[in-house]
Amino acid sequence: MKALQKKPEADLRLKYYKVLEASMAVALLLMIGVFYSFKTFESSVKLPERPNIIIESIEIPQTQQIQKPPPPARPSIPVEADDDEMLDDVTIEDTEVTMGPSDNLPPPPPPEEEEIYEFFAVSEKPVLLHKEKPIYPELARKAGIEGTVVVTVTIGKDGKVEDAKIYKSIPMLDEAALRAAKKCTFKPAKQRDKFVRVKMNIPFRFKLK
């Protein structure tokens, strides 16, 4: 009875191993089939064409080296001679020196001109003390000419007019304005507590009554 009970279990084990071996064989065959079916792989991506590279050989001429000229020789330093006979005899002729005045001497340099300032560039401006009234020219009076003549004057350190030039002109009235400008007097200008020369404009109005 015991022999008959163990026989069905042995059959089940034998069947289990056979089924396992059969399934493994089938799986192996399926994998081999899948491998061979996807053996060839085609890609849709196109690689760029390989550029055609051409290498050219260029002959470069040999560079010529420019040779620099040799440096100049250093001047020789005179050396004191031991023997007096080696020295050349030098004779100095007698010359007369006159210390008197000579007409060929160059003239002395001119004195340096002091800077002339504009009236607005000084610390203290010049003050007009006396303005000369111009004399109306008779010819301009008869012609009925009126107007304002402006004269640029150079005022010295003493307050007197050193130079006068026409700044705004009326031809028939200019001379009268210049004569009047030269007779004007000023309190001189100062620059840092020092009297200086300045330029300023003076208007002269000519009007007929």
pLDDT tens by residue, 50-95: 777 888 778 887 777 777 788 877 766 555 555 555 555 555 556 5
Instruction: Write down the mean pLDDT value for the chain.
Output: 79
Indicate whether 197 belongs to any domain. Answer: yes
Please give the pLDDT value at position 165. Answer: 94
Indicate whether 195 belongs to any domain. Answer: yes
- What's the CA gap between 163 and 184, in Å, rounded? 11
**Tens-binned pLDDT, residue by residue, of the chain (209 aa):** 444 455 667 777 788 888 888 889 899 888 888 877 765 556 676 777 777 788 877 888 777 777 778 887 776 655 555 555 555 555 555 656 555 555 566 666 666 556 766 766 788 889 999 999 999 999 999 999 999 999 999 999 999 999 999 999 999 999 999 999 999 999 999 988 889 999 999 999 999 87
Domain count, the chain: 1
CA distances from 188 to 4, 39, 120, 158, 174 (A): 156, 116, 13, 6, 25
CATH of the domain at 145: 3.30.2420.10
> In which domain, by residue range, is 174 found?
129-206
Indicate whether 184 belongs to any domain. Answer: yes
Indicate whether 124 belongs to any domain. Answer: no
Indicate whether 176 belongs to any domain. Answer: yes
Beta strand 116-118 with 127-130 is: unpaired
Please give the pLDDT value at position 38. Answer: 67
Indicate whether 105 belongs to any domain. Answer: no
Please give the pLDDT value at position 94. Answer: 60
Indicate whether 151 belongs to any domain. Answer: yes
Indicate whether 15 belongs to any domain. Answer: no
Neighbours of 175 (CB within 10 A): 14
H-assigned helices in the chain: 2-37, 138-143, 174-182
